[in-house]
């Protein structure tokens, strides 16, 4: 669908190992699969190296999400609640939102301000 938002979410926590980060990411992925999203999957970085068991190599800590604009604010609220469940969890957003490239890492208060600004711009764009 052309009005979907395509976003990469990168999960991290201070002093977490790759294994812990992968576990957190897969936990979030399971929870996001119950959410009303167009698609959600681990971010792939191509074919797995020869000799490994996997078919595709994944980017540790990153989830690719496609979501309709109307659902995006609820997704942000969900991610905020999820990040507060673990000490020091952060989520970085990267993608295209309301026709603009967004690369965001910060507090969820700042993210909510960004979402509000982007929604406002999107509404202005629809009136034209």
Average pLDDT, the chain: 80
Summarised one tens digit per residue, pLDDT across range 34-72 is 988 999 999 876 544 455 555 444 578 899 999 988 888
Q: Is there a contact between 21 and 88 (Cβ–Cβ < 8 Å)?
A: no
- Domain enclosing residue 53, as ranges: 5-127
Q: For 68-93, how does the pLDDT look when each residue is reduced to its tens digit (9 = 90+)? A: 888 888 888 898 888 888 777 888 88
Q: Please count the structural domains in the chain.
A: 1
Report the CATH number at residue 93: 3.30.70
């Amino acid at each position: 669908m052309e009005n979907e938002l395509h976003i990469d979410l990168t999960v991290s926590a201070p002093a977490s190992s790759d294994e812990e980060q992968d576990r957190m990411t897969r936990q979030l992925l399971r929870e996001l699969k119950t959410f009303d999203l167009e698609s959600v999957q681990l971010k792939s970085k191509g074919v797995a190296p020869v000799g490994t068991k996997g078919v595709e190599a994944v980017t540790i800590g990153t989830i690719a999400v496609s979501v309709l604009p109307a659902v995006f604010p609820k997704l942000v609220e969900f991610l905020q609640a999820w990040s507060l469940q673990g000490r020091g969890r952060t989520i970085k957003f990267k993608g295209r939102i309301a026709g603009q490239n967004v690369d965001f890492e910060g507090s969820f208060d700042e993210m909510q301000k960004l979402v509000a600004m982007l929604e406002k711009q999107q509404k202005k764009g629809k009136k034209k």
